[in-house]
Amino acid sequence: MRIVILSSSVYSETACAMAAHVAAMGHVPVGTLALSTLNRGTLLRKIGQWGISNSATYARAKIFPQAQSASSVSNPYLLPMLRHGSGQFRSLSQVCAFYNFPLATCRDQNSRQSVSRLRSWSPDVLVFAGGDILRTELLQVPRLGVLNIHLGCLPEVRGMSTPEWSLLLGLPLGVTIHFMDRGIDTGPILQKNELPDAHRYKSLADLRNRLIAFGIENLVDVVSRLDCGAISATPQWRGDSDNQFFVIHDFLRGRAEQCLTSSSPDGNAA
């Protein structure tokens, strides 16, 4: 299985963990394409989803990655995937050097040069770990398709802020691994997994971090089953309404956090 990973940055912690974990499980990527550090489009999307304060923290981590301590991680659930020997992967450059596969950077993942580079790697699948909104030409590069880890159960919750909306609507918390198409989280589903003991997490940030790691853990299973032809994608059903959600208001985010903590084993709700 020829795998290429798309990343929003060379320093993306999620992409580093994904690349390292997939490689450690026997599926070494044939290449990685990352956006230039602190890409404008990525930062604007972070501001829309996280707000200015959290986005500023994200930007500082990308500009000054060396300022972080050797053992610090933004997402502690990724630490087991980032460890190697007595050290820890802190960039895709380190992962690529360790497992001996190439890294390329670009300003636009959809550009002619980027698409040409991706085609030169002849991928069976691309795995999306962040970056641009992907256009048709890029989506058609891999033999099988572009994989995405969606932090929600499809097709019930599409779009952004899916853990929050899932809590507000009383829907299961989990991840869906699906092929991307031109729509927003509308592509065929390969695997959907509910998060065990989802309500034991004490905050939305903690829950989101665990969902990210949970998605990467399940990605390896999907890749392995794709490799041996033991899994096929199922088109999503389309109901009368399209449950697509967008950036959530701070008030509703607070209500979602209340839903999470009140339903935890030590919460105050009956």
Query: How far from 236 is each of 22, 109, 150, 185, 195, CA to CA, in Å?
Result: 26, 26, 14, 10, 20
Express each pLDDT in 18-35 by its tens digit.
Answer: 999 999 999 999 999 999
**From the centroid of its chain, how far is CA 42?**
13
Measured CA angle at 124 (ends 122, 125), to 5 deg: 115
- Please say if the pLDDT value at position 51 is more than 70: no
Are 147 and 177 within 8 A, CB to CB?
yes
What pLDDT does 248 receive?
Answer: 85
Question: Residue 70 — very low, low, confident or very high, per pLDDT cuts 50/70/90?
Answer: very low
What pLDDT does 43 receive?
Answer: 61
Pick the CATH number of 3-262 from 3.40.50.720, 3.40.190.10, 3.40.640.10, 3.40.50.170: 3.40.50.170
Question: Which residues have a Cβ under 8 Å from the Cβ of 107 and sit 6 or more positions away?
Answer: 35, 36, 39
Express each pLDDT in 236-259 by its tens digit.
Answer: 986 655 677 877 888 999 999 999
Express each pLDDT in 173-199 by its tens digit.
Answer: 999 999 999 999 999 999 999 999 888
Q: Where are the domains of the chain?
A: 3-262
Question: Which residues have a Cβ under 8 Å from the Cβ of 81 and sit 6 or more positions away?
Answer: 17, 18, 20, 21, 24, 213, 216
Are 131 and 7 within 8 A, CB to CB?
yes
CA distance 253 to 16: 28
What pLDDT does 245 receive?
Answer: 80
pTM equals 0.86
Are 249 and 219 within 8 A, CB to CB?
no
